[in-house]
Amino acid sequence: MSRTTSRQAPQSSLFDVQLHSEAERLRATLETVTAAHEKDLAALFYKNDLLARELKILKDYIQRLETENSTLTTLLRLGAQRFAPEPTRHDLVRALTQLAAQVHPDRHSGATLATELTQQVLALRDQIKGKKQR
């Protein structure tokens, strides 16, 4: 009699089958969760890029308004020089009214700086007119 030895694959126990099944289920869950988080992360990066662009636009706008404010302040200081040597009260009031219209927030997308400048110009105009401040 000759002996033939054949190796048989060990049979998996019920525990091994359940363990393998649970591992596959967890792997599938992990892949699903990872894919969902990758989508969320991509959406957050996209939103971050949009906000960075908007922030740059706002910074540029603020810089432009600051430049305009500087220019308007200089014009306000020098504005009286455009008039006759002795401008009348009426001339000053008219010039300040025109300046208030130029710096009005409606012309500058409701900017806070424009609002403050308009209020200051109108307060000066009312003071020259002899009215109480607003």
**In which domain, by residue range, is 116 found?**
15-129
Q: Can you give the pLDDT at residue 119? A: 92
Is 123 within a domain?
A: yes
Q: Can you give the pLDDT at residue 84? A: 47
Q: Can you give the pLDDT at residue 98? A: 92
pLDDT mean over 84-109 = 84
* CB 128 within 8 Å of CB 93: yes
Q: How many domains does the chain have?
A: 1
Q: Can you give the pLDDT at residue 7? A: 63
Is 2 within a domain?
A: no
Q: Coil, strand, or helix at residue 23?
A: helix
Closest CA to 122 of 87, 97, 89, 88: 97
Q: Can you give the pLDDT at residue 85? A: 61
Is 1 within a domain?
A: no
* CB 114 within 8 Å of CB 65: yes
Is 7 within a domain?
A: no
Q: How far apart are alpha carbons 79 and 100 in whole angstroms? A: 13
Q: How far apart are alpha carbons 87 and 79 in whole angstroms? A: 11
